[in-house]
């Protein structure tokens, strides 16, 4: 039975209440970035002829030149699949003229056809959506196009709208669209776009940023236009992962010049983090490079931290969380740890978890409450990730408001998808409230499991499982397996199965009934995690910055690499290869964003045999040896993060990232040492 429509219907006007003046700016920006597209699409668009300025003879001449160019580059592609040429011709026929000419010029210059195709397909989803803008774009699995057969048994995520819409095209039957059941309940183009277009194609629309003079808060840059763009990108991607500060309170004070919820320290820390989200900064991974804007924002934030770290302020707590996350993504969480501990100490000093401050406005009290939950959430996730007891053992006393009644407590983010007139809300309140409720269970597990020896037996495991299942079945409609769609939704579900896996994997040797069998729980959790990672890829791809993404990728990549050997059955090895190549490709793309992903890619690559290295290169249309072009890590790794789940406490040291990197030495390929 489809969910009730009242949860899905959008109001007739999906404009943000304050965005009327921002609309013209947004449309102008989109037109300038994509001059071949219109900003007012028809509700029933059809594929249109793009090369309207050319005569038939011009088109014939271009076609001849194109085939000639393809022929000249064929020496670089002798071993390539012939469908590369077919796909290139399809792009040249259907893309806007300017985009097609760009591809054509690259081919004529002698670039490898496979590389041109790969970049056009995976590197710029916006071009793909331009082929038929009213339909959709989906990514293609790099090695095997289908889901593993054993994933189809008792798997709620294969009945999800995001999966159904991602598999609308049938290569055998042509690109005919059949709406999945329930999809017609999404009554607006803004709702449908979330399921049909990758999230990184959307743009944050935030009126408060339009005239924000961010340069008054930092001495690093005077380019307010650039810094506004940095914050917009930050609010679309990484803000949802940490939610360290309340966006609306932060921006209101930034614009007004108030320091209740904004400070130079926090602004510089946020801008440093935002740089890794900004694809136009080609060297953003080089956090050590003094010529890098990311480096300069970080240096300024650290300078201010040294001056202010002992002064108890809400913004200093929030900056401490951001700086901790930043050091984590640089692969130096040992250096970032003091920021987290000092943020916790300041939070206790301000008593934000349980004490209201007299004679303070409601706005200030709500900001304190939000920060208390943000600190509790981050400390809990840190404890879970590093397998330690949390420094904050009880949740804040502040009741989490119902997002439908008090959405302003959480703040909202509105985005505009390409070719849409209206805006789509991210429903931040529902996501953040569900996350807080989940982290309460996670915190109690970590406190029980990691406070002086592992203390989880089967009875306790089943207790935590019961609480987790109650949380899972109580999720709001938009966060159920059927309706999840955004990276933040998928993240929530992946962590749910990750926690179940962590609870039950150490108990695999314990006898039990079938219903509560650790083997059954572990197998089911792994299957669901694998499925969610694949669905994430199909809809959103792996190129856009997402720090969370490397966590499940390295977990399932390690497992797959360890299971591949000369004795692995042929049918099983193909499935494992499909997983391993997908993981390696994801880390390969994420390594452009942050250094931790670069380290994890080298680790996974170091566990791969030469056969799988070759398959990876071919699947990505890379030249032989490109995967190993940067065989040495640029800077040291100082990380105490156990990168995979462990069955026994004495295994933790061997799974810590710094120790793994050291054990792999120069990262030589498995079997060549």
Q: pLDDT of 265-287, one tens digit each?
A: 999 999 999 999 999 998 999 99
User: HSE-up of 164 (CA within 13 Å, CB side)?
Assistant: 17
CB atoms within 10 A of CB 564: 20
Nearest of 467, 535, 455 to residue 496 by alpha carbon: 467
Residues 215 and 332 in one domain: yes
Report CA-CA distances (Å) from 605 to 275, 558, 580, 668: 26, 10, 10, 8
Residues 225 and 372 in one domain: yes
Task: State the pLDDT confidence band at 617, using cuts at 50, 70 and 90.
Answer: confident
Task: For the chain, state the CA radius of gyration.
Answer: 25
3-state secondary structure string, 586-631? Answer: HHHHHCCCCHHHHHHHHHHHHCCCHHHHHHHHHHCCCCCCHHHCCC
pTM assigned to the model: 0.80
What is residue 22's predicted lDDT score, i.e. its pLDDT?
Answer: 41
If pLDDT is split at 50, 70 and 90, which confidence band does 526 have?
Answer: very high
Q: Are residues 250 and 366 in the same domain?
A: yes
**Ranges 164-168, 278-282, 397-401, 633-637: which has the least confidence:** 164-168
Instruction: Report which of residues 62 and 302 the model is more confident about.
Output: 302
Q: Which residue has the higher pLDDT, 103 or 669?
A: 103
**% of the chain with per-residue pLDDT over 70:** 76
Residue 15 lies in a domain: no
Shared-domain flag, residues 263 and 366: yes
- In-domain check, residue 221: yes
Of 463, 450, 426, the closest CA to residue 649 belongs to: 450
Q: Look at residues 362, 385, 412 and tell me which one is the last residue of a structural domain.
A: 412
Q: Are residues 270 and 387 part of one domain?
A: yes
Considering the domain architecture, whether residues 101 and 212 belong to the same structural domain is answered as no
Q: Pick 32 or 306 by higher pLDDT.
A: 306
pLDDT exceeds 90 at position 26: no
CA distance 319 to 336: 12
CA distances from 362 to 253, 365, 396, 400, 430 (A): 15, 5, 17, 15, 22
The set of residues, in sequence order, having a beta carbon less than 8 Å from that of 250 and lying 6+ positions away, is 261, 262, 266
Q: Are 119 and 211 within one domain?
A: no
- Could you tell me the CA-to-CA distances from 179 to 10, 196, 594 in Å, in that order? 19, 11, 38
> Is residue 156 one of the residues assigned to a domain?
no
Q: Residue 222: pLDDT above 60? A: yes
| Average pLDDT score, the chain | 83
* Least confident interval from 278-292, 441-455, 490-504, 509-523: 509-523
Question: Which of 347-356, 374-383, 607-616 is the least confident region?
Answer: 607-616
Determine, yes or no, domain membership for 510.
no
Task: Establish if 258 belongs to a structural domain.
Answer: yes
What pLDDT digit, counting tens, does each position of 439-467 carry?
999 999 999 999 987 789 999 999 999 99
Same domain for 260 and 125: no
Together in a domain, 251 and 347 = yes
In this predicted structure, what is the pLDDT of residue 486? 98
Q: How many Cβ atoms from other residues are within 10 Å of residue 303's Cβ?
A: 14
Is residue 627 assigned to a domain?
Answer: yes
Closest of 399, 403, 468 to residue 7, by C-alpha: 403
| 126 and 231 housed in the same domain | no
Residue 284 lies in domain? 207-412
8 A C-beta contact, residue 629 and residue 565? no
Is 341 domain-assigned? yes
| CB of 217 closer than 8 Å to CB of 408 | no
- What does the alpha-carbon distance between residue 570 and residue 655 come to, in Å, rounded to a whole number? 29
Structure tokens at 360: 């303070």
The residue with greater pLDDT, 570 or 560, is 560
**Per-residue pLDDT tens for 120-152?**
654 444 444 443 333 456 788 988 888 888 899
Q: How many domains does the chain have?
A: 3
Please tell me what DSSP assigns to residue 70.
H
CA atoms of 148 and 534, how far apart (whole Å): 10
Mean pLDDT (whole number) for 642-667: 84
- Under DSSP, the state recorded for 43 is T
Domain check: are 234 and 368 in the same one?
A: yes
Residues 235 and 351 in one domain: yes
Q: Which of 71, 102, 131 is the last residue of a domain?
A: 131
- Tell me, letter by letter, the H, E, C secondary structure of 171-226: CCCECCCCCCCCHHHCCCHHHHHHHHCCHHHCEECCHHHCCCCHHHHCCCCCCHHH
471 in a structural domain: no
Q: Among 106, 131, 156, which residue terminates a domain?
A: 131
């Amino acid at each position: 039975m489809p969910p009730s429509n009242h949860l899905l219907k959008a109001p007739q006007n999906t404009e943000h209440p304050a965005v009327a003046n921002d609309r013209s700016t947004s449309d102008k920006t989109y037109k300038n970035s994509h001059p071949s597209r219109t900003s007012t699409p028809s509700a029933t668009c059809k594929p249109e002829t793009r090369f309207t300025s050319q005569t038939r003879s011009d088109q014939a001449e271009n076609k001849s030149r194109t085939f000639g160019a393809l022929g000249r580059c064929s020496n670089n592609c002798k071993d390539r699949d012939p469908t590369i040429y077919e796909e290139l011709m399809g792009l040249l026929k259907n893309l806007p003229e300017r985009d097609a000419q760009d591809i054509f010029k690259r081919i004529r210059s002698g670039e490898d056809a496979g590389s041109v195709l790969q970049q056009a397909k995976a590197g710029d989803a916006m071009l793909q959506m331009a082929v038929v803008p009213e339909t959709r774009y989906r990514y293609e699995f790099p090695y095997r196009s289908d889901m593993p057969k054993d994933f189809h048994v008792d798997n709620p995520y294969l009945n999800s709208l995001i999966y159904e819409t991602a598999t609308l095209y049938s290569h055998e039957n042509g690109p005919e669209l059949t709406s999945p059941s329930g999809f017609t309940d999404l009554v607006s183009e803004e709702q449908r776009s979330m399921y049909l277009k990758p999230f990184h194609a959307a743009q944050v629309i935030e009126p408060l940023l339009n005239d924000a003079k961010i340069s008054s808060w930092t001495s690093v840059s005077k380019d307010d236009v650039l810094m506004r763009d940095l914050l917009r990108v930050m609010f679309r991607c990484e803000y949802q992962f940490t939610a360290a500060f309340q966006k609306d309170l932060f921006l209101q004070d930034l614009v007004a010049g108030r320091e209740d919820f904004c400070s130079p320290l926090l602004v510089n820390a946020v801008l440093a983090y935002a740089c890794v989200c900004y694809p136009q900064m080609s060297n953003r991974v080089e956090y050590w490079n003094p010529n890098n804007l990311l480096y300069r924002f970080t240096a300024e934030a650290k300078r201010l931290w040294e001056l202010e770290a002992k002064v108890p302020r809400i913004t200093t707590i929030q900056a401490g969380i951001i700086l901790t996350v930043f050091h984590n993504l640089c692969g130096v969480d040992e250096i970032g740890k003091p920021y987290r501990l000092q943020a916790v100490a300041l939070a206790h000093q301000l008593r934000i978890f349980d004490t209201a401050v007299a004679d303070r406005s409601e706005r200030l009290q709500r900001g304190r409450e939000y920060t208390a939950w943000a600190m509790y959430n981050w400390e809990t996730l840190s404890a879970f990730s590093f397998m330690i007891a949390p420094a904050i053992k009880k949740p804040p006393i502040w009741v989490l408001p119902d997002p439908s009644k008090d959405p302003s407590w959480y703040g909202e983010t509105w985005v505009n998808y390409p070719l849409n007139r209206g805006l789509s809300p991210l429903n931040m309140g529902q996501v953040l409230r569900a996350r807080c409720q989940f982290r309460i269970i996670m915190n109690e597990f970590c406190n029980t499991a990691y406070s002086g020896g592992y203390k989880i037996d089967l009875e306790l495991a089943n207790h935590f499982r019961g609480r987790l299942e109650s949380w899972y079945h109580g999720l709001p409609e938009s966060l159920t397996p059927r309706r999840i769609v955004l990276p933040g939704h998928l993240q929530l579900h992946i962590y749910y199965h990750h926690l179940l896996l962590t609870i039950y994997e150490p108990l695999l040797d314990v006898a039990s009934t079938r219903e509560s069998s650790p083997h059954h729980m572990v197998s089911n959790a792994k299957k669901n995690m694998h499925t969610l990672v694949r669905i994430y890829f199909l809809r959103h791809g792996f190129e856009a910055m997402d720090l969370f993404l490397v966590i499940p990728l390295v977990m399932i990549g390690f497992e797959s690499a360890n299971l591949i050997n000369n004795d692995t059955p042929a049918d099983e090895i193909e499935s494992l290869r499909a997983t391993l190549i997908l993981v390696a490709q994801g880390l390969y793309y994420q390594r452009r964003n942050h250094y931790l992903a670069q380290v994890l890619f080298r680790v996974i690559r170091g566990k791969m045999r030469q056969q799988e290295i070759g398959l990876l290169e071919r699947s990505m249309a890379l030249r032989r040896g490109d995967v190993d072009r940067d065989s040495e890590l640029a800077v040291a790794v100082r990380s105490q993060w156990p990168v995979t789940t462990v069955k026994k406490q004495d295994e933790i040291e061997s799974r810590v990232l710094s120790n793994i990197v050291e054990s792999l030495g120069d990262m030589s390929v498995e079997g060549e040492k």
